Amino acid sequence: MKASSKKTLKHALLFSLSVFLGLAYTGSIDTASAAQKAKSTDAAQKSDKEAASSTSTVPKLDPSDPTSVIYLDTSGKPAGVGDPNRPPSVAYQAGKGWHPAALSVAGLPKDRYGLIDWAKLVREKLIKPRFSLDPNDEEMEPLQMDILIPAKGDYVNDVIYPHEMHTYWLKCEVCHPKIFIPAKGQNNMTMVGIVQGQWCGRCHGKVSFPLTDCNRCHVSPKKKAAGN
């Protein structure tokens, strides 16, 4: 009786040992394979990363440079690969101009509404536009002449109109005498009319900066406006 019980215990111990060893063995295999898998995926990821880093070069944003990635598609993604021999898209073929989406990433100075501040661009001499498309046109120096335009309401700062920035872009005839009578005080301007597209509103809000930032034009303090 005693011997048989000892025997069964021995068997049980042996069996459990074999089970344990077997488990350990298979487990070790499993972990090894997992490690191998992890290693391989790591390698794959690494190679992916390397590939990505090799393909993504620092984007050039110069339209005069043929290797520039300035040519973006409509969703704003670069459509050009920078190789002028391989026209990548319709946008590329259509023209080599500045693309609006490219402009937005070009790091140009912006106003607080996120719009490109062209006046600042000119003042900081970041761009040098051609005076005229006609090479025979004589260049005209910007006119240094500020006009104080009193605001109609008592509680609004007066406007200082700078001829300088406007004559940088435009000829006199663009505005005078059709939009503005060239005599001080003769243009009975109102903000209501401007919003409806008269006077300054002929351009501002359409091709020039919009009317959102009041204080960009209403700069000259009025007594009543300041005094409360």
Partner 1 sequence: MYKYISIALLLAFSMPAAAANVAKEIKLDSKVASMHKAGVGPVIFPHALHEKTYKCNDCHPKIFKDKHGDNDISMKKNMDGQYCGSPNCHNSQKAFALFNCSKCHTEVTGKPK
186 binds partner 1 (CB under 8 A): no
Return the DSSP state at 227.
Answer: -
Candidate list 153, 177, 182, 197; residue touching partner 1; CB under 8 A? 153
Specify the DSSP element, H or E, that contains 160: strand 158-162
**Whether 166 contacts 175, CB under 8 Å:** yes
Candidates 105, 115, 44, 110; CA nearest to 75 is 105
195 binds partner 1 (CB under 8 A): yes
- What minimum distance in Å lies between the beta carbon of 93 and partner 1? 35
Q: Which is nearer to partner 1, 81 or 115 (CB)?
A: 115
| Binders of partner 1 in range 101-120 (CB under 8 A) | 113-114
Q: Which stretch binds partner 1 (CB under 8 A): 24-32, 58-66, 175-183, 214-222?
A: 214-222
228 binds partner 1 (CB under 8 A): yes
Respond yes or no on whether the N-terminal peptide bond of residue 177 is cis (omega within 30° of 0): yes
User: Which string of b and e fits 135-155 if b means at least 16 CB within 10 Å?
Assistant: eeeeeeeeeeeeeebebeeee
69 binds partner 1 (CB under 8 A): no
212 binds partner 1 (CB under 8 A): yes
- Percent helix, strand, coil in the chain, to 5, is 45, 10, 50
157 binds partner 1 (CB under 8 A): yes
Q: Which is nearer to partner 1, 91 or 217 (CB)?
A: 217
Candidate list 46, 152, 171, 176; residue touching partner 1; CB under 8 A? 152
